[in-house]
Structure 1
Amino acid sequence: MWYLGSWMFPVISACMWLGMLLAMFIYWETIGHPIYPSMDPGQTIAYISDVGAYKLKPLFITGACVTTVFLDLAFMSERWLRHAGRLAPNTSRAQKILSVIAILFAIAGSAGLILLSNFDTHHYPRLHDAFLLLFIGGYWFSAIFLCAEYQRLGIHYRSHRILHISFWVKLTFILVEFVLAVIFASTSYTGKPNVAAVFEWIVALVFTFYVLSFLLDLLPSVRTSHHQPQGWALRAEMEKHQTGQQPGAPLTNDSAGPNQNRNVGPGDDLEAGAYRGTHMTNSPPAYPNDHHDLGKKKRGVGRLRF
């Protein structure tokens, strides 16, 4: 059933994270902006960690665990769905390696968030700061490798606009979070805790939108009466080319809208509308073979590459 699909993982993760942040902020507001023992002299705006180090610590730990577990499941689901063919499959070993590295960094970021929620800033300030760095760095580097994978996928599947949109969303997250994290770190270590606290809350809120960006990746795998999974539609389109039929239906109706392939004309790539650089044969499988696009120079004449 489509409503029990893997696309629910980022939704659960984002809702838990945003709900936890709102609950902690509203609690701090309603009890009159207390000054916690862990706060610096002159600090009047509490860090997230300050609020989560005392009465709301169980909420902080629970929110961190649920958020990271379901986000990691979203990472792993994306990898599995490409392998299983429900999403547009990877076209090279390099893309698969980038995806695996992204998952490993995401797991490291998850460990950082769970540990920093347990080792609170009041009793373990140095460990807390170290795990905070692991959390931010883990997910930031994970986004970089995932962005690299999507950039390579977008080159091969040019008609899949959803891949380009996801790439730009993740690239925006990388740049924005880097700028915000630099401001947070610099103000924190230069004796401006109130400014640093404000930017910490902003960094956390921006992370919510990054989690939700995985809907762009997982929704195309959903099967309904009006929508075929992205990978199935691609395979059907490639089989039409193999049998000499003209493509008549859109490649996929994903969450970014229908993407109609153009007709193949003389001198064009066989898969110019769906996949660039695929050597088509009459034998299965219909998916593209691995193109080791790291360091391999393609030769040819005009647009013909081999």
Structure 2
Amino acid sequence: MFGISWRSYWIVPVFSGCVWLGMLLGMFLWWVIDTHKAILPPENTRPGETIPYISDVGAHELQPLFIAGGTTTVVTFTTVFVAERWLRHKNRLAGNTSWLQKILSILSIIAALVGMIGMIILTCQNDLYHDRTHDICLGLFIGGYIVSAIFICWEYQRLGIHYRQHRIIRISFWIKLAFIFIEVGLVIAFGVTAYKDHYTAAAVCEWTVSLIYTLYVWSFALDFWPAFSNSQVVKENGEVEMGQTAEMAAQNDNGRSGYAY
């Protein structure tokens, strides 16, 4: 798929996260070094704001970096959700054992696409001249990926019931669940502080949300690692061990429910 070797899929989320982190660091360091410059024109400067929003920095000289870095990140990261569905379909990862799991995976892809579109438009429509469109797309970006995380976390919970022996699924479930709670809490804090005109606190929340997003992207490298290990089994034995496990799990699926964690 996409011309990528089975054993190389883990590189995609690593690359995506590195691009995002590099963009954030570049924008933040530019602001630190050039603090004598006005991030926004005087008429647009928020009272009491000592730390700018990411979008403030990306609205001027660094908008090309904001567009390139943001677009590259979300496009490559969204392919991660598609690849996850593909690898489970091909039993290179622990295969889905029910239609519910497949539906949850597809819904996570759709939500990620919404987040991707929101981010791409957000970077192009800066908050200096298109503040309303920018704010709407920010909501789509954050909401899209949080909803996507909820669906994929739900899928992993169901997978964990049938693949109790696969610790990676359990670990990944908890990582993504933690991401959901932390990011939702920070987004609420961001909204409240911005509404109350505590702009510096809101900016800190926004930068923190973005940095944690990097860790979430990288967590998918852990999910794809079994595909690398499984490729060794296929090469040496000419069979797919996890595919056999998926078939056995499907045959033994008698409607069991409950959490495996």
For the aligned pair, the TM-score class normalised by the smaller chain equals 0.7 to 0.9
Separation of aligned partners in 2, 1:224 and 1:95? 21
Alpha-carbon contact 2:12-2:77 (below 8 Å) kept = yes
1:64 pairs with 70, 77, 80, which one? 70
Alignment of 1:1-306 (within 5 A): 5-32=8-35, 34-35=37-38, 36-37=40-41, 38-223=44-229, 232-235=240-243, 275=249, 278-279=251-252
**Number of corresponding residues:** 248
Q: Alpha carbons of 1:155 and 1:4: their partners in 2 closer, same or farther (altered >3 Å)? A: closer
Separation of aligned partners in 1, 2:81 and 2:143? 17
Residue 104 of structure 1: how far off its partner (Å): 0.3
Secondary structure in structure 2 of the residue aligned to 1:168: helix
Separation of aligned partners in 1, 2:110 and 2:30? 34
Residue 278 of structure 1: how far off its partner (Å): 2.8
Q: TM-score scaled by structure 1?
A: 0.75
Secondary structure in structure 2 of the residue aligned to 1:46: coil
Unaligned runs of 5+ in 2: none
Separation of aligned partners in 1, 2:246 and 2:158? 19
Q: TM-score scaled by structure 2?
A: 0.88
Residue 85 of structure 1: how far off its partner (Å): 1.2
Indicate the structure whose relative CO is greater, using CA pairs within 8 Å and at least 6 residues apart: 2
Identity of aligned residues (%): 47
Secondary structure in structure 2 of the residue aligned to 1:180: helix
Query: Residues 262-286 of structure 1: CA distance to partner in whole angstroms, max 9, x if unpaired?
Result: xxxxxxxxx7xxx4x734xxxxxxx
Unaligned runs of 5+ in 1: 240-270, 280-290, 298-306
Residue 43 of structure 1: how far off its partner (Å): 1.3
Q: Alpha carbons of 1:169 and 1:225: their partners in 2 closer, same or farther (altered >3 Å)? A: closer
Secondary structure in structure 2 of the residue aligned to 1:34: coil
